[in-house]
Amino acid sequence: MELSGVSDEKRPTVDLVKDKNGTDQVLLKNPKGASVKISLHGGQVLSWKSDKGDELLFTSAKGNSKPPHPVRGGIPICFPQFGTRGSLEQHGFARNKMWLVEENPPDLPSFDSTDKAYVDLVLKPSDEDTTRIWPHSFEFHLRVSLALDGNLTLISISRVRNINSKPFSFSIAYHTYFSISDISEVRVEGLETLDYLDNLFDKERFTEQGDALTFESEIDRVYLNSRDVVAVFDHERKRTFLIKKEGLPDVVVWNPWDKKARALTDLGDEEYKHMLCVDGAAIEKPINLKPGEEWTGKLNLSLVLST
């Protein structure tokens, strides 16, 4: 089933497919052959492939892809809570709910649809379980697009609207699992001199001292008020991920390393070497919405290849 676009090699396409469990997924393709796959379970991006077929996102071979379990990998959306910072289940409920394809989404005046394959999803509190644990009326609109440009660009735009009669607050993170050659061979730039909350030390606040972030052990940090662009350099694969964000002041950096990886049932013992989570997020200062107000956040991921 094709949602938009036409069967033309020169046009982007958007198709509705199903995984092995029968869960609906949306497949975006651009004319160069790059693709993005989004599951309606969780509104989760599961795959982002270059025009050469290289997978850019990590997904665990041991991950359970059958609802209601979220997949370990891709880009799960943590909403309305990140981690255990609150009374909800870890990372909130959005990643465990079924989203709907939105036929008539709200306008996005700044969005240029030229040469983009994109889909609009929406999450609403439609079941008693959601309203019982988080008694607020909201609409979470999510647009995921795959651009056609010199670099490979994946853009996610979130819009959360308060349709309740009382205010509420939330945290959010795009928990992005990048596929990397080896955790010991990558570095992250753009976090220099920033304060961060270290989850390995009971959220104690520290200041980053190094010129670039490299990895020799477990890391679980929330960097605060970061720059709008952060870069992940993978030397062995000669590629760089650029993470550009709007409305998402914080950056989460996470890798479980060997001991924690062995304790996770949905992650292989050695898989930690080939993944790194770098998230655009709003965590330290929750977003407050009055009745009728709307928040917009944008995550722009692009791939740059070096020779």
Count of alpha carbons within 13 angstroms of residue 245, beta-carbon side: 27
205 labelled binding-site residue: no
Q: How far apart are the first and last CA of the chain?
A: 39
90 labelled binding-site residue: yes
25 labelled binding-site residue: no
Q: Could you tell me which residues come within 8 angstroms of residue 234 by beta carbon, excluding any fewer than 6 positions away?
A: 180, 181, 185, 186, 240, 241
Apex 38 CA angle, 225 and 31, nearest 5: 100
User: For residues 55 and 57, what is the distance between their CA atoms, to the nearest angstrom?
Assistant: 6
Binding residue ranges for substrate? 72, 90, 95
Q: Which residues does the annotation place in the binding site?
A: 72, 90, 95
